[in-house]
Structure formats: C-alpha cells, structure tokens
Amino acid sequence: MPQDPDVVVELKPGREPKTRGVVNPTLVRWIAFLVITVSLVVCTVLCILAIWKFTESDAVWRAIATFVVVSIATAIFTFVNEKLG
C-alpha cells in the first residue's frame, strides 16, 4: 500500500515588502528620529529656562516654531523618499 506524503508549506513570518527610496529608508528614518528628538530636547530646555526667567519668552516661541518646521520638513522628506524612491 503506497503512502501519500503530506506536503507542508511554511511561510516565513515577518516578511514585509522591502521599502525603497532614493536614500536608504532606514537611514532616513533614523536621521529624522534623531533630528526631531534633538529639537524636542532643545525646546524643552528653552521652555524650562523661560519658566525660571533665564531666557526671554520670545526665544521660546521661536524655538517652538522652529521645532514644528523642522519636524514637518523631516516627515515630508521621509514620506517623499519612500513613495517616490
């Protein structure tokens, strides 16, 4: 009596389609993360200094505006790099 072997197919878990970009997307994400993190830390320090009256409040608003602009710019660059790359 012949035996029919069962065919077992295993899929590798966690395989995502490879993202591509003009610049390495993993590197771009790390750089964007670092830029946003450093900007956030600087804004936090300036806000604390303004609370304790070591800096002018005008510097705080400029720092926050700069943080927003830098964050949006890095996010847009990351998005465009991955979509158009």
How many domains in the chain?
1
Per-residue pLDDT of the chain (85 residues; tens, 9 = 90+): 567 677 776 667 766 666 678 889 999 999 999 999 999 999 999 889 888 888 877 888 998 999 999 999 999 999 999 888 7
Q: Give me the residue label for tokens 């943080």.
A: 67
18 in any annotated domain? no
| The overall pTM is greater than 0.75 | no
15 in any annotated domain? no
Cβ atoms of 72 and 32 within 8 Å: the answer is no
Q: Which domain holds residue 58?
A: 25-84
65 in any annotated domain? yes
